[in-house]
Structures are given as C-alpha cells and as structure tokens.
C-alpha cells in the first residue's frame, strides 16, 4: 500500500480505460444528455456573438485589424464551455458515484485501483469535452468566425483546458459533503466565466487588477484559444500550456491522494 | 445441527470450479491472520486477532454491530490497509498484491453498491470487464449468472426497479463474475424478508457445494448455523470463541434452555426462588433463561417451588445463548 502511494499518480493506471468503457456504456442509452452539452456554448455564441455583436460592431483585433465581435468572443466562449463542461462532469457526476451510488467502492473490489478511477474519470471528461470542442469549432467555421489556420490547434488546447479543470473539479468534489456544497464551486466558476476576458479584452482593467485577473486559470485558457483563433502566436502561449499542465497534474495528484483516503480507509 | 433445506439439483456444470490451482503456500490456509489489527486514529476496530480459513470451508464471523467484522472483511478484501500483525490472502500479501488477490476473490458488501446508472445485465458485463474478461466472455457469464440468481427476466431492468432481495441476488451474481476462489459476504441477508433470505441461502449453499470458500459475517444465529462449518465469535474487536456451531453450543451452553416469562413487575420481585434450578441463569429485561440439560425437569422443579410464569418454553440451545454467555449481551439490541 505504501509503495502504491509513493508511485506518481500519473504513472500507474493500467485499467483506466475500463472506467471510460463504463461511462460509454451508460451514455449509449442516454446520449441525448450528451448532445445538450453542445448547445449551451452555441446559444451563447448566437446570443452574445451576434446579438450583442450587432450593437458592438467591429472591435480592434490584437494586430490592429478590425474583426467582428463574434470572431472575438467565440474563442472565449469555447474556453469557457470547455471549463464548464469539465467542471460539470467532474463535480455532480463524480459526487453521485462517490457518495451515493458507491460506484467506486464496488470498483475497488476488482483489480482496478484508485489511480485507474482518477485517470479514467478525468479521461472521460476529456473525451466528452473534446467532442463538444469539435462541434463548436465546426460551427465557428460555418459562421465564418475563423481568422487563422492556427485555429486547428484550438482543439488540443481545448482538450488541455478540459483536463486541467476536470482534475481540479474532481479534486474539489472529494471535499464536498452534500449537494449544497456545490454552491462554493459555482461561486468560483461563475466569476471566472464573467470576468476572465471572455466578453471583453483584459485591457479594460486598470492595474493591478489586470495582472490579478490575468493569472486566473480561465484567463490563461482564453488567452491561449483567442491567440490561436486569431493567429497571433507568441511564447506566452507556452506559458499558458505549462500553466494548464501543472494545474491538471496537481489536480490529478490530489484526486489520487483524496480518493485513497476516502475509499481505502 | 440445523440442516439447510434440501438441494434437489446438483450444481449446474457451468459453475463448476474450473479455476487455476491455489498456490502451494496457500493450500493449508486460504486466509491466515496473526495479530491482525486495525486502528482508526485512537479507536481500535480489530485488536490482534488470529484465525485461519481452509480451502473449501465456510467460515463465519459472528458478532454484534461494531464488533470489528466489517473491518476484518475489508482488510481481507484489500480495501483497507492493516495497522498491525500479519495477513495473508490466497498466499499473498494484500499490501503488495492487491490487484492479484482481488482478481480471485468475490465481494458482497454490506451495503449494495450496484451501478445505478446501468441495467441489470450491464452491471454484470462491466464488472466482468473490470476483471479483464473479453466482452464476449463477460456477456456469456452475465447470462449464466442471471440464470443462477433467477434474474434472467429482469436483465434489461434498471437496478432501481429491483426489490431488496433481487438487488442482493444481483450483487451475489456480480461477485461471481470472475469465478472466485474465495467469496467474502458481509451480512449478506440483513434487511431481507424470510423468503428472500432462504433463496439466498440456497444459492450460497450451492456455491459451497461447488467448492467455493465462503467467508461471511452475520449477526443472525440462524444464518451462521445454516451456512458456517466453523465460526469465530467477535466482540469489541476481539475473537472470544471459535469452533463449529455445534462445538460452540456444547462448550458454552447446555443442551436445552428453559425460558420463563413472568407478568410485568413479577420478575423484579424474584429473589432466591430460582437458585439451583439450572446450571446457569440469565435474567433478561423481559424473561429469565435457565440453562439446563433437561429443560422439562427444570420447568417441573420451578412449578414445584410455586413459580407461576405466564409462559414456559423449552428449546434447544442456539448460538444466541453462546453469545449471551460469552459477552453478557444479546447479539441484536
């Protein structure tokens, strides 16, 4: 047991794919629930990108060119929906299985271990998020909101966002005691969604507020996706990627530790 | 001893224990515990217990809630690290070989942990997949097991729609999907009605006949007498007695018990009138138990002394009496 604990969380999850298989089995019958996750960001895009966009008109892009407000806001919405999807999947769904259905207790009586569960569930959240991101990017292409071929990299970037938030969301869920505790999680995610430059550039904030907001996770995600969508590459993007990798890695490590404590006592 | 209800048909061949041999080291004992201890912070749940379970036997932990039964079962099932002592399961160490051990045991937990989001049959298939069975093989075993626990017609139902007894049967079917050498059952029939319990006992008896080693916990004496070849009585984290149900009754109780129930208020007034009527006398809140090899004779002697109880019952000693003798308390409070 001690030896297993000392192994790095990422290094040992040989049967994580079985968790993914279980979730596919579940959603094979309830796929309609999955489809709904695609529409949420689409409605935001139509309502805000085009509705508000009609009021705003064009905005100045990072390189000085005028771009439509829709093209500006779309990558922000993609990043936000990748965050929201991952959080949703890794909080409510995990909590139900952890505390009520005792799904993981049953699984731990089989050769699967804690790391298989942690990696498997986060992988599933990632797969789900990837499907949504593909759908959203396709809509962006159809609506003519794509400014640069680099947007193709927005897909792996969205996956990385999903990984980072799913890991942190699942870690937070291990401390949740009842359904009402989820309010604390949404007290964090809603301001992130509203104030992380999803709808307007960071430059509207005065210093030091701008710096503070710019180091919050969703700001890094939006910076990453917007830069790729608008074709504005810079070394800062590597910092964004590293930020998200560390965030996901730490989250996964915490999940493993916490599940071990909760389930193998 | 109490015999299980007659089993008409022999075990169906598809459930014959066709499994790889137990390692040489484990032939003597499938489970071996020496000084096995479990602590939760300051609380000692299991205090340095020793026991052995032989292959093919049916072994029980009998005791009240909180005695340490479930903690012991969780340690055997490799989901609870031991705090002290030595534990070997199937000849392996749970601390190092958890995945290997778990691959060859089946677990029926106290609380149902069925996958609420999947159907009855899917529950069995995915569980088989957790044990690395191919999809085809998992499906084949799922169908056989549904037949075995008489749930074939519910294969496509959701778990939620099943009755308590059906859920327990499905849980047992699930625990068999890897054709285990060792089956751990934590209070398998608690909360079930008598009919559902008998059906479960019948299935467990068949498994036992097929050579599956059963280890179960219970606080029901009738269950222990039905299913266990040998058992240990646990109380407050310790093992207080060990033997077959018959041996325990012979050792710790008399052949018969005379139960006298007096009208309200009379019991408290009784002083020395009962002395000498039996080998041992237990006063319970509502009745007096007189332990004697000849219950009828004791009843006659009590009558001769002028005692007029409301009801008189002579019965054989049971494990409940053993427990009362050993701990001074009833099993179910």
- The full DSSP string for A75-112 is HHHHHHHHHHHHHHHHHHHHHIIIIIS-HHHHHHTTT-
Answer yes or no: is A93 within a domain: yes
Alpha carbon distance B306, B270 (integer Å) = 12
Rounded to an integer, what distance in angstroms lies between the CA atom of residue A188 and that of residue B289?
Answer: 65
pLDDT at site A107: 96
The CATH homologous superfamily to which domain B13-243 belongs is P-loop containing nucleotide triphosphate hydrolases (3.40.50.300)
**DSSP bridge pairs for B36:** B49
Residue B264: per-residue pLDDT = 79
How many CA atoms does the CB half-sphere of A174 hold within 13 Å?
22
Q: Is any Cβ of chain A less than 8 angstroms from the Cβ of B5?
A: no
List, as one string, the DSSP characters of B130-167.
Answer: HTT--HHHHHHHHHHHHHHTT-GGGTTSBGGGS-HHHH
The angle subtended at Cα B47 by Cα B44 and Cα B50, nearest 5°, is 155
DSSP assignment, residue B241?
E
Residue A226: Cβ within 10 Å count: 25
Model pLDDT, residue B226? 83
CB pairs under 8 A between A and B: 79
Alpha-carbon span A8 to A5, nearest angstrom: 8
Q: pLDDT digit string (tens) for B276-303?
A: 888 888 888 888 899 999 999 999 998 8
Cβ distance of A25 and B77 shorter than 8 Å: no
Phi and psi at residue B57, in whole multiples of 5°?
Answer: -90, 165
The pLDDT score that the predictor gives to residue B125 is 97
CA-to-CA distance for A136 and A154, rounded, in angstroms?
Answer: 11
Chain A stretch 6-35, residues whose beta carbon is closer than 8 A to a beta carbon of chain B: 15, 18, 21-22, 25-26
- A-interface mutation test, from B95, B113, B132, B173, most A Cβ less than 10 A away: B113
B115 closest CB neighbour out of A103, A109, A265: A103
Q: What is the mean pLDDT of residues A102-124?
A: 94
Q: What is the pLDDT of residue A166?
A: 94
pLDDT band at residue A132, thresholds of 50, 70 and 90? Answer: confident
Are the beta carbons of A102 and B127 separated by less than 8 Å? no
Asked if A105's CB is within 8 angstroms of B79's CB, the reply is yes
Q: Which of A67-71, A256-260, B58-62, B121-125 has the lowest mean pLDDT?
A: A67-71
Going from the C-alpha of A213 to that of each of A197, A235, B184, the distances in angstroms are: 9, 20, 54
C-alpha of B281 from chain center: 28
Spatial distance between the Cα atoms of A170 and A251, rounded to a whole number of angstroms:
8
Backbone region of residue A197 per phi and psi (left: phi > 0; alpha: psi in -120 to 50; beta: other values) = left
Domain boundaries, chain B: 13-243, 254-316
- CATH annotation of B254-316: 3.30.70
Among A4, A105, A110, beta carbon nearest to B130: A110
- B213 φ, ψ (degrees, to nearest 5): -80, 125
Please say whether the beta carbons of B207 and B216 come within 8 A: no
Q: Is A1's CB within 8 Å of B95's CB?
A: yes
**B40 contacts chain A (CB < 8 A):** yes
Query: β-strand B58-62 against B213-218: which pairing, if any?
Result: parallel
Residues 6+ apart with CB under 8 A from A24: none
pLDDT at site B63:
87
Decide if A13 is inside a domain. no
Q: Which of residues 135-174 of B touch A (CB under 8 A)?
A: 174
Backbone φ, ψ for residue B211 (5° rounding):
95, 5
Contact A101 B102 (CB under 8 A): no
Q: Which chain B residues have a beta carbon less than 8 Å from that of A22?
A: 115, 118, 126, 129
Does A109 sit within 8 Å of B77, measured CB to CB?
A: yes
Q: How many other CB atoms are there within 10 angstroms of residue B23's CB atom?
A: 10
Nearest CA of chain B to the CA of A113: how many Å? 8
- Average pLDDT, stretch A11-17? 82
Report the domain count for chain A.
1
pLDDT 10s digits, A79-89 = 998 998 898 88
Q: Which pLDDT tens digits describe chain B residue by residue (333 residues)?
A: 344 444 333 333 333 333 444 444 445 789 999 999 999 999 999 999 999 999 999 999 998 888 999 999 999 999 999 999 999 999 999 999 999 999 999 999 998 999 998 999 999 999 999 999 999 999 999 999 999 999 999 999 999 999 989 999 999 999 999 999 999 999 998 888 888 888 889 989 999 999 999 999 988 888 888 899 999 999 999 999 999 998 999 999 999 999 999 887 777 777 777 888 888 888 888 888 999 999 999 999 988 888 888 999 999 988 888 888 888 776 654
Determine the residue of chain B that is closest to A102 in CA distance: B113
* Cβ–Cβ < 8 Å for B60, B228: yes
Residue of A nearest to B79 (CA): A264
How far does the CA of residue A88 sit from the closest CA of chain B (Å)? 17
Facing residue for A264 by CB, picked from B80, B118, B122: B80
Give yes or no for A102 touching B (CB within 8 A). Answer: yes
Length of chain A: 265
Q: What is the pLDDT of residue A3?
A: 40
For residue A255, the number of C-alpha atoms closer than 13 Å in the C-beta half-sphere is: 33
Largest CA distance in chain B: 74
Coil vs helix vs strand at A146:
coil
Collect all residues with Cβ–Cβ distance below 8 Å to B73 and sequence separation of at least 6: B61, B184, B186, B215, B217
Contact yes or no for A222/A79 (Cβ under 8 A): yes
Q: What is the mean pLDDT of residues A178-195?
A: 90
Q: Does A1 touch chain B (CB under 8 A)?
A: yes
Residue A7 lies in a domain: no
The answer for residues whose C-beta is within 8 angstroms of residue B187's C-beta and 6 or more apart is B70, B110, B216, B217, B218, B219
pLDDT of residue B18: 38
Question: Does residue A17 form part of some domain?
Answer: no
Which residue in B100, B102, B103, B115 has the most chain A C-beta atoms within 10 A of its own C-beta, making it the best mutation to test that interface? B115
Span A140-160, pLDDT tens digits: 888 888 888 888 999 999 999
CA distance A22 to A106: 13
Residue B218 pairs in a beta bridge with B62
Contact B87, B93 (CB under 8 A): yes
Partner residue opposite B103 with nearest CB, options A3, A103, A111? A111
Question: Which A-chain residues 168-207 have CB contacts (< 8 A) with chain B?
Answer: none
In this structure, the number of other CB atoms found within 10 A of the CB of residue B206 comes to 18
Give residue A45's domain range: 23-263
Pairing of strands B31-40, B238-243: unpaired
pLDDT score, position B200: 87
A176 contacts A96 by C-beta, under 8 angstroms? no
User: E strand or H helix at B52, and its extent?
Assistant: strand B43-53
Distance CA B298, CA B122 (A): 59
Tell me the mean pLDDT in the region A232-242: 92
Nearest CB partner across the interface for B102, out of A18, A26, A109? A109
């Amino acid at each position: 047991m001690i030896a297993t604990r000392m192994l790095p969380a990422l290094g040992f999850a040989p049967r994580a794919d079985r968790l993914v298989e279980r979730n596919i089995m579940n959603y094979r019958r309830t796929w309609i629930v999955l489809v709904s996750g695609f529409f949420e960001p689409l409605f935001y895009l139509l309502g805000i990108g085009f509705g508000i966009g009609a009021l705003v008109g064009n905005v100045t892009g990072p390189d000085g060119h005028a771009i439509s407000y829709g093209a500006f806001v779309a990558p922000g919405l993609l990043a936000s929906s990748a965050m929201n999807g991952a959080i949703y999947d890794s909080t409510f769904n995990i909590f139900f299985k952890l505390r009520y259905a005792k799904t993981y207790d049953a699984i731990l009586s089989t050769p699967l271990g804690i790391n298989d569960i942690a990696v498997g569930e986060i992988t599933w959240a990632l797969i789900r998020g990837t499907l949504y991101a593909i759908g959203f990017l396709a809509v962006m292409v159809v609506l003519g909101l794509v400014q640069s071929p680099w947007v193709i990299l927005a897909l792996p970037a969205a996956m990385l966002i999903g990984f980072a938030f799913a890991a942190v969301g699942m870690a937070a869920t291990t401390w949740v005691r009842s359904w009402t505790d989820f309010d604390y999680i949404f007290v964090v995610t809603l301001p992130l969604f509203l104030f992380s430059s999803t709808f307007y550039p960071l430059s509207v904030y005065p210093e030091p507020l701008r710096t503070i907001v710019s180091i919050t996770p969703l700001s890094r995600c939006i910076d990453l996706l917007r830069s790729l969508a608008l074709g504005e590459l810079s070394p800062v993007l590597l910092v964004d990627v590293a930020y998200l990798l560390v965030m996901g890695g730490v989250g996964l490590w915490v999940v493993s530790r916490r599940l071990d404590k909760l389930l193998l006592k | 001893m109490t015999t299980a209800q007659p089993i008409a048909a022999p075990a169906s061949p598809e459930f014959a224990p066709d499994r790889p041999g137990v390692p040489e080291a484990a032939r003597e004992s499938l489970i071996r515990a020496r000084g096995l201890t479990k602590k939760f912070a300051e609380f000692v749940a299991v205090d340095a217990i020793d026991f052995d379970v032989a292959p093919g036997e049916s072994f029980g932990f009998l005791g009240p809630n909180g005695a340490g039964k479930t903690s012991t079962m969780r340690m055997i099932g490799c989901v609870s690290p031991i705090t002290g002592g030595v534990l070997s399961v199937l000849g392996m160490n749970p601390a190092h070989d958890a995945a290997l051990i778990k691959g060859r045991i089946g677990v029926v937990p106290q609380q149902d942990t069925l996958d609420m989001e999947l159907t009855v049959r899917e529950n069995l298939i995915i569980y088989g997949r957790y044990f690395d069975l191919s999809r085809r093989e998992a499906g084949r075993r799922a169908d056989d097991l549904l037949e075995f626990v008489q749930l074939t017609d519910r294969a496509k139902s959701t778990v939620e729609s099943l009755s308590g007894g059906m859920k327990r049967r499905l849980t047992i079917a699930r625990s068999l999907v890897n054709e285990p050498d060792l089956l751990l059952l934590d209070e398998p029939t608690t909360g079930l009605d008598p009919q559902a319990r008998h059906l479960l006992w019948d299935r467990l008896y068949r498994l036992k006949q097929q050579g599956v080693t059963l280890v179960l916990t219970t606080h029901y004496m009738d269950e222990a007498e039905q299913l266990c070849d040998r058992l240990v009585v646990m109380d407050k984290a310790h093992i207080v007695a060990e033997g077959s149900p018959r041996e325990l009754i012979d050792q710790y109780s008399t052949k018969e018990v005379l139960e006298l129930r007096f009208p309200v208020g009379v019991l408290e007034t009784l002083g020395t009138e009962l002395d000498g009527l039996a080998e041992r006398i237990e006063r319970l809140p509502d009745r007096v138990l007189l332990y004697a090899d000849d219950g009828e004779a004791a009843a006659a002697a009590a009558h001769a002394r002028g005692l007029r109880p409301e009801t008189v019952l002579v019965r054989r000693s049971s494990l409940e009496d053993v427990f009362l003798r050993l701990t001074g308390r009833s099993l179910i409070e």
